[in-house]
Structure 1
Amino acid sequence: MKRDEIRDLVRKKRNALTQTEQKNAAKQLKVNLIQQLKPYKNAKIALYLTNDGELGTSELIQALQAENHSLFLPVIHPFSKGYLLFQKYEKNSPMTTNRYGIFEPKLNCSQICPIEQLDIIFTPLVAFDEKGNRLGMGGGFYDRTLAKYYQEQWQKPIVIGLAHECQKVALLPCESWDIPLKWIATPEFNYRW
C-alpha cells in the first residue's frame, strides 16, 4: 500500500472514533505517561494541540502543568520553510491559527526554546509500524526539524510519538528523510525500540 493510501485509511479509522472513545483515550494516555515521566522533574516538554482526530493532549497538558513542567508548542518557522520552532505555552498564552488551521502560540521570539534544550518532544503522527517508523501528515515538518538531532545522535530531547492503537500498521513504506522513533505511546501501550 502507498503512503497516501495508508494516510487516508488510518485517518478515517482515527476520525471514526466517537467523542467518548476520544475522551477515554486521552485520559488513559495521561495515566500511562505521567507514571513514565516521574523521573523527569521540571522538564521542558514540547507537545502539540490536538487536530484532525489525533489523540487528545489536553488531559496530558493539564497533568504536566500540575507537575511543574515547562510546556512548549510547535510554531511554523517564519523564515525557514518547512521547519518548526517550539515556543513556551501557558494557560494565558496568546494564540493564533496557522495556515493549516491549527492553533499555535502567537510568535514571540523571546519565548522560543532551542530544540537541544528541550527534554522531551511529543510528536503527532498518522500511522506507525512495529519498527518505530512514523508516518506524518505529509508536510515533513517534524522530520526536517529533527533531522540534525538524529544525524548527530543527541541524547536529548527524547522524542515520543503519540497515537491511538488503531493507527498501528504492520509495515510502513519509508523514505530516506523519515525519522524513526524509539518510543511511541498509545493509551494502552508504550512501544520502545
Structure 2
Amino acid sequence: MTDPLLRRRLRRARLALSQRDQRDHAESVCQRLISSGLMHAAKRIALYLPIAGELDPSPIRARLQGRRRWYLPVLRQHAPGRLWFVRLDASSRFKRNRFGIPEPAARGRKILTPQGLDLILVPLVGFDAQCHRIGMGAGFYDRSLAFLGDRQHWQRPRLIGLAHECQRVDHIEPEPWDRPMDAVVTERALYQRQI
C-alpha cells in the first residue's frame, strides 16, 4: 500500500513546477518519446487531459496528429472503477465526470476497450526506474488493464507513463494488482522495464 504522505509529497512536487517548466518538460518528453521509436507502430493511442501538474501529452498529439487515432479515458457507468476510451476528434464535446475531470461525451462507435488500443500514455503520481507506477489511488487504470496480467503473450496495449523527473522515487513495492509500465518518459530520461 502506497504511503499517502509519499503520494502527497509527489503531487506537491509536480504542482510546484512553474508553467514554463511544465511546457519545457512536455516538449522534452515529446522529443524523447518520438525519437525512441516506442510509438512507431501505434495507430490507436490513448492519452489524457492533464490535471494537478500532470505532464501534458498534447505536444505528442500535435506532432503526430495526422497519422494516429487518439482516445481519451472515460469512466464506465456500467462497470464502476473501470475505463473506456473514446475517440477524440474535431467534433468532440466534453462534460465533467464525477471527479470534475473533462471527458468526451460521445458514445457508440467511438468507444474502445483497452484491448482495442495499441498504446496508452498513462498519467502518474510517482514511478521508479523499474517502471512501477503510483497512481492517484483510485485504481481505474489497474482494474481496466488487469487483463494484461492474465496473458503473458498479450502485446497490446503498450503502457507508457509520462512524468516529471521530480516524481521519481528509489523503489516502489508493487501490489499484486499493480500494472507496471513498459516505459516511463521524463524530461531527463527514458526508463524501460527490464523483463
> Which consecutive unaligned segments of at least 5 residues does structure 2 have?
none
Amino acid at match of 1:138: G
Shift of 1:152: 1.3
Identity of aligned residues (%): 39
- Matched residues in 1 for 2:8 and 2:75: separation? 24
**Over residues 59-79 of structure 1, what are the superposed CA-to-partner deviations in whole Å (9 max), with x where a residue is unaligned?**
12211214x110000000011
1:50-89 residue pairs with structure 2 within 5 A?
Answer: 50-66=50-66, 68-89=67-88
* In structure 2, C-alpha distance between the alignment counterparts of 1:192 and 1:104, rounded to whole Å: 29
Gaps of 5+ in 1: none
For the 8 Å contact 2:42–2:119, the answer to whether it is kept is: no
TM-score by length of structure 2 reads 0.92
Superposition deviation, residue 156 in structure 1: 1.1
In the superposition, relative to structure 1, how do residues 2 and 113 fare at CA in structure 2: closer, same or farther (>3 Å)? closer
Counterparts in 2 of 1:1-193, with a 5 A limit?
2-37=2-37, 40-41=40-41, 43-66=43-66, 68-153=67-152, 154-193=154-193
**Contact 2:75 2:81 survives alignment (8 Å):** yes
* Shift of residue 131, structure 1, vs aligned partner: 2.1
Cα offset, 1:42, TM superposition: 6.5
Q: Secondary structure at the match of 1:166?
A: helix
TM-score (norm 1): 0.93
Q: Deviations over 1:16-44 (max 9, x none)?
A: 00001001111111111122247625611
How many positions carry a matched residue from both structures? 192
Q: Give the deviation of 1:110 after TM superposition.
A: 1.4
User: Following TM superposition, where does structure 1 have runs of at least 4 consecutive aligned residues deviating by more than 6 angstroms?
Assistant: none
**Which letter maps to 1:170?**
D
Q: Distance in 2 between matches of 1:29 and 1:2?
A: 26
